[in-house]
Structure 1
Amino acid sequence: MELLAPAGTMENFMAALEAGADAIYLGGKVFNARSHAGNFDYDELREALRLAHILQVGIYVTVNILVGDRESKALAEHLRELERIGVDGIIVQDLGVARIARQVAPSLELHGSTQMTATNLETVQFLERLGFTRVVLSRELSLDEIRHICEHAKAEIEVFIHGALCISYSGQCLMSSFIGGRSGNRGSCAQPCRLPYQLVTLDGEQITHDKETYIMSPKDLNYSAYMKELIEAGVASFKVEGRMKKVSYVHEVIGTYRTIIDRSGQATEADFTRLEEGFNRGFSTAYLENNGSKSMMTISAPNHLGKYLGEGQVKGRTLSLRTKEAVAEGDLLKVIAHTGDVHYITVTADMTFDRNIYRIPLTETISAGKVYRASQGGYTKQRGLKDFTRKYKSYMFLHGEEGSTVSLTMMLASGQTVTVTDEYVLQMANHKPTSVEKITEQLGRLGNTLFELDHVTVPEGSFMWPSSVLNSLRRHAVEAMEELLIEQYVASWEARKANLPTGMELLGDMTKTVGQVLGFTQVHTLESNTKQLEILVDSLEGLQQAIMTPVDRIVFGDPLQRIPVAYPVYEEAVQMCREANKEIIFSTPRVIKDNESIAFRDMVNHMVQANPDGIRVHFLGALEVLHQLGYTGVVEGDTGLQTFNSHTLGILNDLGFSTVNVSLEATLHQMNTMASKNIMPIGAIVQGRVELMISEYCPISSFAGTGYKRGCPVVCTKQDYALQDRKGELFPIYTDPFCRTHIMNSRELDMKSYIDDLRRSGLQRLVIDGRQRSLKWIANEVSMYHQLLEGTVKAPSKEGATHITRGHFFKGILGES
């Protein structure tokens, strides 16, 4: 059982160590999902690793972003250096990164990032097949789901227990990327979800009130009250978010959870108060109790609140506050005035206290309002090893006889023992022998180490012990003990691996083996200069319309509607397409939670029984389900797999995929690079509303319904809704059969003007997303693309087009080299 702390800087790292972390995750200067944190260069990483391993603390390095082909060489060298340094594992999102790691740094443990969207046991089991020893679950899972996965998984399960919460499924959010060009999948999320939005109908009615502003900004995660249950569930690692947070946050939050875990998960009111003051936007247990209501949202303020102290009254330049909480010099107070203004006040020594009322001088005139303590004046920065409190208690024993060389034995309270010698020949003192106090003083100079001296034993006799000899013995004893502790840590780490999935072969060879076990039929029939036109539809009416168009392939399923596809419809859809000589592929949902696995398995089984030309999947766990159902047909991959480079493409090919739609964040140049490797046919969405976000939270039920997802009157089926931002842009909202929310882009992706670029590209399939579109729209879009490909009509002008987007076809996501 492990308490896993974040560290964005060396100061935060030291704070996490001192507070009691069992392991720390951090990022290098490159290839990590917190590009705006301070992060660690290789020298800092070496020093951090040394200190951590001496204290039996693990170090995991984040390599948790999507990586382009042009970065492969630099990535490989980065991974080699991490292996040389000796880090305990890497946290990855991109399957291509995992493959390169296995090829160039095979000893590095692979941990699946929450960006891999592991929402069910089947996905965890598939990652185990690929040699992942740990998987970070999505934050949307309930306690029962976490317990079920822990009971059946071989890999270690890591769970976020505290910190900022993404409202979208991590790894599936394109909102920041498409709105501002800053991608969360490249470590540069601008958090547009925390901006003001209103819920409106597409008829123009405003549903939310003016004060209900931040309806997509969630409160912070806080599982402190459920730690006992999570420990009993079998969670291996308890993870705290916060690589961008201050030192005081890391120290207080990790220290609090250390105390809770040491109490076997029992949390107190004092623990909760301490967490409040670390950082909070308000706290929530999010989906741990199957919640999904507006109670988990900040609504009125998206920033740190702190501990609520009471109502503040203002008279002149004085704030009067009656509270049961202690207020001290150095505390930072936050006043949210009744006018909506926010003020910050640092408490000075001029504060007075009389009759249970604090009177705090102000430097400016403010309005009365609610007062919160944003932070206390205590721990603000790491003070260095000299004042470090997490140290080993040690005992030292000097050995020597007159006329012989001397030695020093150092023993820790935990039993570890080392002995070092010195060439000095012990002599009787001519005048004043070295006192025990002087010896203790010299041997006790351990300030800049991770040890503290408890007791010294010296030989009897009036001997001369030179300070230089004592210093040398102490220094060498400390060095020997450090090496012993590091060796002990490495040995225990290696022993731990015995019960974990192995998969230490090259991931390329391994995936070929897994692919052979799965036994899917691979069809690579397209020539590089061939272009197939494909449309995705989610209703039988849409499919009937698509059949009447010159489209080559129809993908049916993954509906953006609350009402599910009736199972008999799958057979009907296949029959209709067979009669029309159209290829038909069934598409599975983008996300399936663990408690939905039975329903998902039933759905997929009906798809298999209908005998389509192939089945398309968004997540790896679907492969596990298809294999268990005995399916041996064609499998295709969709955008949810985030195929961003040829290394990922190679893995998918080894696993038996016949084709894949590449990431919506890939540029056309990247697509051409992937296609040039001749690994498998690839496609890309060129027309339609891009899905920016998929979420368990439902703003429709929260503000147009009862406020609670459970028991919702399904208002989403009675009206069409959208989010409206401050500029008036509308982002349509759809819900699916599993009651998940899909936020679509306000601007339609439209690549018709660039048909020549598409025709010259390495793409074999051009995909139109026709879900929830009118029959007329389907007919017109397919007809236009068909004519453009045939060259019978001229492409629209590239200039003057309004309210459309070219996505990332020509403009790469921020941070891409």
Structure 2
Amino acid sequence: MTKKLKRPEVLAPAGTLEKLKVAIRYGADAVYIGGQAYGLRSRAGNFTFEEMEEGIQFAREHGAKVYVAANMVTHEGDEEGAGAWFRKLRDIGIAAVIVSDPALIMIAATEAPGLEIHLSTQASATNYETLEFWKNLGLTRVVLAREVSMAELAEIRQRTDVEIEAFVHGAMCISYSGRCTLSNHMSMRDANRGGCSQSCRWKYDLYDMPFGRERRSLKGEIPEEFSMSAVDMSMIDHIPDMIENGVDSLKIEGRMKSIHYVSTVSNCYKAAVDAYLESPEKFEAIKQDLVDEMWKVAQRELATGFYYGTPTENEQLFGARRKIPEYKFVAEVVAYDPQKKLATIRQRNVINEGDQVEFYGPHFRHFETKIKNLRDAQGQKIERAPKPMELLTIDLDQPVYPGDMVRGLKEGLINLYQEDGSSLTIRA
């Protein structure tokens, strides 16, 4: 008898209302956002209640959900007003809140009954007993710690029926489930109350420190300064393992990323899920296309985190980059006239007449073409469009749709490792 596989939710980040709508259009079944309190991304475009209501309405029209991250570690006084805030979220239709601090969990549960509560990854859930503990307190879903292996995930799934949300793409924290105080010490910004300055990604001197003698800087004697930064996670080619092991929600990190990033990554994970549930053969047929597509957006190098073993020095950001994205986001489609075969686009980066570009849209639609008959908003023929957000028109034989995106090849250098470990520089 064939095992019935559950379709996992594709959960995308949404730092702004625009990103929320883009993520849902490009395949996200749910998005998570930040409000103006209790979150961990103080510099993200955190939502007002009015923006939340507009986002919820848009999500409902597309069969999607909106969650709110309220995952800060509260100090005395931080929890004031939380009860009223959670009630407001419940009343405007937020599907769930993502919380780590037991005080906020208690407040949400007692003062906003009916509001679903998910446990944040900040709480470091790494075993099924922990999931059962939170289930007994009324939580319906747990976001696993990023340090959980695939074997551990499989055992957790076998031993509990709590919904499992697991990260599949985005930044990895060098500390344990994000619980870090480097930023507090180095820039007096509280990482666990929304102010992280990402001190782990800074570059540091290395020192020789012989016992009983003066330390000596090794600057100039080593290839580059030291950082504590990990490469990003990507599980796009391992989606079968996530589905087979019963993950309920595939979480993408990046509330501060661009609409180019959000659209591309949401599109890829939706396509991966659809393909594998249709058949393993269909997934294998498009797997390399998905991997290649992911490399068209700005990100760090990629690895699989802790899922298949403890990361090594190869999963740290050190030395020459082995691969960098070759594309830049240049425009989005505003309208298309099929009679005139004319596309109106909103420029996001410099566009030149004759540029080779790729159009892409939801449901993994792609095609390449050249910019032809570039005109400004007044209809004047131009050779170059350098002004951000300018409305332009181009001739286009193939139909496109509002919300489709346009990307072009970057100019610059790519550093690659050769087999002997030395670096090779080629022009993009």
Q: Normalized against structure 1, the TM-score is what? A: 0.38
Match in the other structure for 1:282? 301
Q: Secondary structure at the match of 2:77?
A: helix
Q: Shift in Å at residue 330 of structure 1?
A: 4.4
Q: Secondary structure at the match of 1:290?
A: coil
Check the 8 A contact 2:22/2:403 in 1, yes or no. Answer: no
Q: Shift in Å at residue 104 of structure 1?
A: 1.0
State the one-letter code of the partner of 2:275: R
Q: Shift in Å at residue 154 of structure 1?
A: 2.0
The answer as to 2:257 corresponding to 1:257 is no
Q: 1:6 to 1:329 in 2, by over 3 A?
A: closer
Q: For 1:197 and 1:123, locate their aligned partners in 2 and report how far apart those are by CA, in whole Å.
A: 37
Q: For 2:311 and 2:39, locate their aligned partners in 1 and report how far apart those are by CA, in whole Å.
A: 30
Matches within 5 A, 1:573-592: none
Match in the other structure for 1:348? 352
Match in the other structure for 1:162? 169
Match in the other structure for 1:99? 106
Q: For 1:90 and 1:138, locate their aligned partners in 2 and report how far apart those are by CA, in whole Å.
A: 17
Q: Shift in Å at residue 291 of structure 1?
A: 3.0
Match of 2:78 among 52, 71, 74: 71
Match in the other structure for 2:291? 272
Q: For 2:93 and 2:352, locate their aligned partners in 1 and report how far apart those are by CA, in whole Å.
A: 47
Q: For 2:273 and 2:170, locate their aligned partners in 1 and report how far apart those are by CA, in whole Å.
A: 17
Check the 8 A contact 1:329/1:348 in 2, yes or no. Answer: no
Q: 1:98 to 1:274 in 2, by over 3 A?
A: same
Structure 2, gaps ≥5 residues long: 1-7, 277-282, 332-348, 357-385, 391-400, 405-428
The answer as to 2:241 corresponding to 1:223 is no
The answer as to 2:109 corresponding to 1:109 is no
Q: Secondary structure at the match of 1:188?
A: coil
Check the 8 A contact 1:118/1:138 in 2, yes or no. Answer: yes
Check the 8 A contact 2:189/2:195 in 1, yes or no. Answer: yes
If each structure's helix is expressed as a fraction of its own residues, which one has the higher value? 1
Q: 1:245 to 1:56 in 2, by over 3 A?
A: same
Q: Shift in Å at residue 122 of structure 1?
A: 2.2
Match in the other structure for 1:393? none
Q: Secondary structure at the match of 1:196?
A: coil
Q: 1:84 to 1:329 in 2, by over 3 A?
A: closer
Q: 1:177 to 1:328 in 2, by over 3 A?
A: closer
Match in the other structure for 1:59? 66
Q: For 1:77 and 1:224, locate their aligned partners in 2 and report how far apart those are by CA, in whole Å.
A: 39
Q: Shift in Å at residue 301 of structure 1?
A: 7.1
Q: For 2:193 and 2:225, locate their aligned partners in 1 and report how far apart those are by CA, in whole Å.
A: 28
Check the 8 A contact 2:260/2:329 in 1, yes or no. Answer: no
The answer as to 2:17 corresponding to 1:10 is yes
Q: Shift in Å at residue 170 of structure 1?
A: 2.1
Q: Secondary structure at the match of 1:170?
A: helix
The answer as to 2:159 corresponding to 1:152 is yes
State the one-letter code of the partner of 1:278: V
Match in the other structure for 2:247? 235
Q: Secondary structure at the match of 1:299?
A: coil
Q: For 1:328 and 1:156, locate their aligned partners in 2 and report how far apart those are by CA, in whole Å.
A: 37
Match of 2:125 among 118, 130, 133: 118
Match of 2:90 among 72, 83, 89: 83
Structure 1, gaps ≥5 residues long: 309-326, 332-344, 353-376, 390-817
Match in the other structure for 1:39? 46
Match in the other structure for 1:185? 192
Q: For 1:329 and 1:23, locate their aligned partners in 2 and report how far apart those are by CA, in whole Å.
A: 24
Deviations 1:460-515 (A, max 9, x none): xxxxxxxxxxxxxxxxxxxxxxxxxxxxxxxxxxxxxxxxxxxxxxxxxxxxxxxx
Q: For 1:64 and 1:329, locate their aligned partners in 2 and report how far apart those are by CA, in whole Å.
A: 31
Whose Rg is larger? 1
Check the 8 A contact 2:72/2:100 in 1, yes or no. Answer: yes
Q: Secondary structure at the match of 2:58?
A: helix
Match in the other structure for 2:402? 387
Q: 1:214 to 1:29 in 2, by over 3 A?
A: same
Percent identity of paired positions between Structure 1 and Structure 2: 34
Q: Secondary structure at the match of 1:235?
A: coil
Q: Secondary structure at the match of 1:45?
A: helix
Q: For 2:28 and 2:351, locate their aligned partners in 1 and report how far apart those are by CA, in whole Å.
A: 31
Match of 1:131 among 122, 130, 138: 138
Q: Shift in Å at residue 67 of structure 1?
A: 2.3
Matches within 5 A, 1:17-32: 17-32=24-39
Tell me how many residue pairs correspond in the alignment: 328
Q: Shift in Å at residue 300 of structure 1?
A: 3.6
Q: Shift in Å at residue 225 of structure 1?
A: 1.4
State the one-letter code of the partner of 1:18: R
Check the 8 A contact 2:298/2:325 in 1, yes or no. Answer: no
Q: Secondary structure at the match of 2:32?
A: strand
Q: For 2:143 and 2:41, locate their aligned partners in 1 and report how far apart those are by CA, in whole Å.
A: 17
Q: Secondary structure at the match of 2:268?
A: helix
Q: Shift in Å at residue 64 of structure 1?
A: 0.7
RMSD: 2.9
Matches within 5 A, 1:148-547: 148-198=155-205, 200=207, 202-203=209-210, 204=215, 210-264=222-276, 266=284, 268-300=287-319, 306-307=324-325, 330=330, 348-349=352-353, 387=402
Q: Shift in Å at residue 205 of structure 1?
A: 7.3
Q: Shift in Å at residue 138 of structure 1?
A: 1.1
Check the 8 A contact 2:236/2:268 in 1, yes or no. Answer: no
Q: Secondary structure at the match of 1:179?
A: helix
Q: Secondary structure at the match of 1:8?
A: coil
Q: Shift in Å at residue 328 of structure 1?
A: 9.4
Check the 8 A contact 2:40/2:194 in 1, yes or no. Answer: yes
Q: 1:151 to 1:281 in 2, by over 3 A?
A: same
Match in the other structure for 1:504? none
